[in-house]
Chains A and B, each alone.
Chain A
Amino acid sequence: MSHVRIEGLTKRFAGKPPTVAVDDLSLEIESGEFVVLLGPSGCGKTTTLRSLAGLETPDEGTISLGGQTVLDVRAKVNQPPNKRRIGMVFQSYALWPHMTVRRNIGYPLRARRAGREQSREWIEETARLVDCASLLDRYPAQLSGGQQQRVALARGIVARPDLVLFDEPLSNLDARLRDQVRAHLHELHGRLNFTAVFVTHDQSEALALGDRLAIMKAGRIEQLDTPQRVFDEPATEYVAGFIGMSNRLTLRRQGDGWAAGTQPVTGDLAVPRAHTEVTIRLRPDDLQLAQSEPHLPAGNASLSAQVVDAQFGGRHMDVVVSVAGTHLQAKVPLAANAWVRHLTPGQHVTAFFAERAAIYFGAGDERIAGHPTAAVGA
């Protein structure tokens, strides 16, 4: 039996118009697993998390934590948060300003009536784990954002809960600190092996932290898989777009080949002949530019394009090109392509990509062709 089991979870919000925040969602989480709920705002990821915590009252479904049923709408069971063995880290940290760090971290132990001696030990051990041992007698207002974050994390895990819930805990940190805390959290999970559900809208956070990712859309899980598989083989176009394949181009079959609008594509695509129209998704790194019609190695497809804008990005250029009216982004490394430093808007270039780097979707949003790794694996 899985450690955490969500079945048929549904939550509707009254309003104008009424919305379905979570729509018949089911999810099983193994003990020690780190599951990330990823999606844009309004996709239901936070509502799912809050339902796990007992902070929402779902309309349908069951949830069990560590073998104990904490929610069963039909049987009218909905355990309050304090009856569930959970810890939670909030986006705003929610450290109580009138308590010292020690009392903040120790609160879950006091609330669960742990022994005094054991509490002291656990508080200090946890504080050491998150590098806060020297801050125990300060008040939250005296801490920096990163320190507050770590104290909040300590409070979430100190009571060794069955499940730790993270509600976008890194989004209030600045970019540099965010990477540090992320690395720290990953290391900590590796060491303590707690079961966790982590909500975020940041794909790099999700890829870095998750044992599995659940990409959510409109209250449903669109794809549930390991970061590697989600990254390499997004199941739907929506997932592809969310996981960084921001370029979208619709192609139609034209004679033997393909065309974007009136713009013919040089080279063939690995798409069965039955399809007359495909939508391709491509990462900006996988779209490259050439000055003139190049001799492309086999397995590449190219299109003529017009430069819209080019931004300097350090070791690369972020170039926006227009192909048959569609804007595409190309991340072109400068080392091999010094010429892109001097692009001017309106200039004609050739855009090309390895056909196996792209993912293809048919008219009904279904995947058509395999990805290289899949092909190799098969």
Chain B
Amino acid sequence: MAVVSALPAVTASSRARRLLPRLGALCFLAGIGYLVIAPLVGLQRLAFEDGARGYASAYDRPEMAKTLGTTVGLALGSLAIALVLGTLLAWAATRLPPRLRLLRALPILPIVVPAVAAVTGWAFLFSPRPGYLNALLRTLPWWNHLDEGPVDIYSLPWIVVITGFGLTAFVYLFVSSGFANINSELIEAAQVSGSSAVGVFFRITLPLLRPTLVYGGFVALLLGLGQFTGPLLLGRTAGINVLTTDMYVAVSQSPIDYGRAAAIGSPLLLFGIAVVVFQKVILGDHSRFVTHGGKAFRTPGRPSRLAVAGIVLYSLVALALPLGALTIVSLSPFWSGSIDVGAFTLGNFRQVFTESGITDAIVNSLTISVISVAIALPVGFVAATMLLKGRRFPVIRAAVDFIVAMPLGIPAVVFGAGFLLTYSREPFMLYGTREVIVLVYVTLMLPFTTRMQLSGMVALGDAYQEASRTSGAGPVRTTTEIMLPLLRPTIAGAAALMFVLLTHEFTASLLVRSPTTQVMGTILFDYWGNGSYPLVAAIALIMTLVTATGVVAAVSVAGSDIFDKL
């Protein structure tokens, strides 16, 4: 009888227990939903105001067709370069001799160099007149009649090449992890069944890699369409415009026209959403739950010297050349085509550390990045937990899944413009504050913090948590005593990686910064505009150093496969 009379009380408390998580999940969804969606909606509302005036002013201009063409051309051209180079490098990395296996990390290293630093480095090398390599090439007999060139970095083909180089590392990452996921016994089974090495590659390896290549290709295409740094720094002088730079112009030059900027960004927005939907719905996103047993991938071929040469050559070109140019310029009193070792000076670095604008920017970059990481980590932890455990509320879970993926699909410049608009008006007057930069950074990091922690949780499996729950521990104790300690390497790795990405950040920062609140990337851009090239080079090197420190920290706490978890 006691059981019967106790029932109503149990029912009431258990109803509260069932409703509370749902309420919490809804609040969380509302929070990240506002963060991600509000800027995009705000932009579109402006674009459709006054009978879609924004769209009219953006697309009625004759230059628009050319801009669209340039955007697509830049994306496809750089995608082609990145796919070929990235796949070749990944293949080469599997054929390295065992004692040179460390070279595998080389093609990833260009990611460490911030895009602004790399682009300025290339400009120092291939600027038509004072570019170091151009000057060198002009000493060759068949070019010695030229006054400038032969390479013009400020032209579209070379912007495509530079962008393609930048994307190569991403494709390399995708394809390498694709290779790593192929069980070597599948390859050996084909060989034993009588296939030649070439036959194995085309009949087994390539079909198995296809999902990876398609997905990696789409991500690279998205990145190519959203490219901003290269076209902005190199293309503006020659009037080469892409959608992202057009958007930037619309919101940075008076009269500021958000409606037009939003309209310009719409194709990127739509394509980004389409890719995210495609990935979630069509691919089902099952891949992240798959763990691959068996032996790691081994190529049928023997170690190859050509592979070593290829990887070393690529790293020299993609990494050493621009960094070398930056070093030389940063040590020179001014930038000219010739190198005067005798005049080398540390004066530029001294100046960097005495100009309060620059030191403020460096401090801003570091503090804002740290704060953003500190916010993004718990948000990602909650999101990952909901994606993994949220079977009870499938709708909220699907919405979280989608929202968290959006910043990966939609270019940072669109988010930057949206944030500038949303947080420069009531109810959130945050323009010119660090807070708005923190908000943008947290938003941009949502996909990374969630995916990395999710893959860490998937790798842990359910048993550790279930063992804790059946031992009598509630959800809180299970999280603090079991999950957090076990996830520590994952969380530390995610933190370090996000720190690197954020100290790199240029695109969104450029849109939401104000003249008094700068970060490293934006202050570099300002000095680039002033023509203070030696200072630009010094700042670029410092940026690279900061991110390199972050990468070393990331790899040392999370292991060298940290980038595979993206």
Contact = CB atoms under 8 A, between A and B. Distances in A.
A77 B470 contact: no
B474 A80 contact: yes
B214 interface: no
A82 B467 contact: no
A81 B7 contact: no
Interface string B1-27: 001000100110011001000000000
B14 A81 contact: no
A310 to B, nearest CB: 31
Interface in A113-127: none
A86 B15 contact: no
Nearest to B392: A57
Interface string A228-245: 000000000000000000
Interface string A52-80: 01110100000010011100100111101
A27 B481 CA distance: 35
The size class of the interface chain A forms with chain B is 35 or more
B485 A98 contact: yes
Interface string B506-538: 000000000000000000000000000000000
A77 B472 contact: no
Contacts of A159: 471-472
Contacts of A183: none
Given A69-B3, A76-B15, A98-B485, A107 B468 contact: yes
A97 interface: yes
A165 interface: yes
Interface string B454-478: 0000000101101111111111010
A81 B466 contact: yes
Contacts of B15: 76
A112 interface: yes
B11 A111 contact: no
Nearest to A105: B471
B486 interface: yes
A162 to B, nearest CB: 12
- Taking chain B's interface residues, is the majority helix, strand, or loop, or is none over half, making it mixed? helix
Contacts of A91: 463
B482 interface: yes
Contacts of A97: 486
A88 B3 contact: no
Contacts of A57: 392
Given A86-B470, A87-B470, A76 B14 contact: yes
Interface string A117-141: 0000000000000000000000000
A109 to B, nearest CB: 9
Interface string A87-98: 110111011111
A88 B467 contact: yes
A184 B10 CA distance: 40
A45 interface: no
B24 to A, nearest CB: 16
A320 B522 CA distance: 81
Given A67-B3, A90-B463, A94-B466, A108 B14 contact: no
A155 B464 CA distance: 13
A75 B473 contact: no
A95 B467 CA distance: 8
Contacts of A94: 463-464, 466-467
Contacts of A111: 468, 471-474, 477
B457 to A, nearest CB: 15
Nearest to B472: A111
B482 A96 contact: yes
A65 to B, nearest CB: 12
- Residue of A80, A81, A84, A155 contacting most chain B CB atoms (<10 Å): A81
Nearest to B12: A76
A55 B466 contact: yes
Contacts of B474: 80, 82, 111
Contact of A76 (B11, B467, B470): B11
A68 B481 CA distance: 28
Contacts of B468: 96, 107, 111
A86 B467 CA distance: 11
- Residue of B470, B474, B477 contacting most chain A CB atoms (<10 Å): B470
Contacts of A76: 11, 14-15, 18
9 contacts: A53-B466, A75-B10, A76-B11, A76-B14, A76-B15, A85-B472, A87-B471, A98-B485, A112-B472
In the complex, the 4 A-B pairs of residues with the closest C-beta atoms, listed nearest first = A94-B463, A111-B473, A81-B469, A88-B470
